[in-house]
């Protein structure tokens, strides 16, 4: 199981670093919103893998909260961009 945890850490760590780079570089708010959703999904996958490896379900409430934050954040950004596009002549 040690090699499996190491593989998970390497793969998701590299993906998280690349996602944070996309959040920083942008260039638009939609790119940043998609990258933040990807980062939240990566965190959820890591928590799910940890639960599967250790055989527990204690992190399920945390997963639900992270999913809700991601959904509501995406909705907020979409509404902001839609309003901004409607007011631009």
Output the pLDDT for position 57. 93
What mean pLDDT do residues 4-25 have? 91
Kindly report whether the global pTM for this prediction surpasses the value 0.85.
no
pLDDT at 17 over 90: yes
Output the pLDDT for position 9. 87
Q: Please write the tens of the pLDDT for every residue from 18-61.
A: 999 999 998 888 899 999 999 999 999 999 988 998 899 999 99
pLDDT at 89 over 80: no
Residue matched to tokens 């250790």: 54
Other Cβ atoms closer than 10 A to 78 = 12
| Residues 26/74, Cβ–Cβ less than 8 Å | no
Output the pLDDT for position 3. 87
Name the residue among 41, 21, 32, 45 with its Cα closest to residue 80.
Answer: 32
CA dist., res. 83 & res. 59, Å (int): 36
């Amino acid at each position: 199981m040690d090699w499996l945890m190491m593989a998970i850490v390497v793969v998701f760590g590299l993906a998280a670093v690349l996602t944070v780079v996309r959040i920083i570089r942008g260039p638009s708010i939609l790119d940043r919103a998609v990258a933040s959703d990807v980062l939240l999904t990566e965190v959820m996958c890591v928590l799910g893998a940890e639960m599967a490896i250790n055989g527990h379900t204690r992190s399920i409430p945390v997963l639900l909260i992270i999913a809700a934050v991601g959904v509501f954040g995406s909705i907020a950004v979409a509404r902001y961009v839609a309003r901004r596009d409607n007011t631009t002549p």
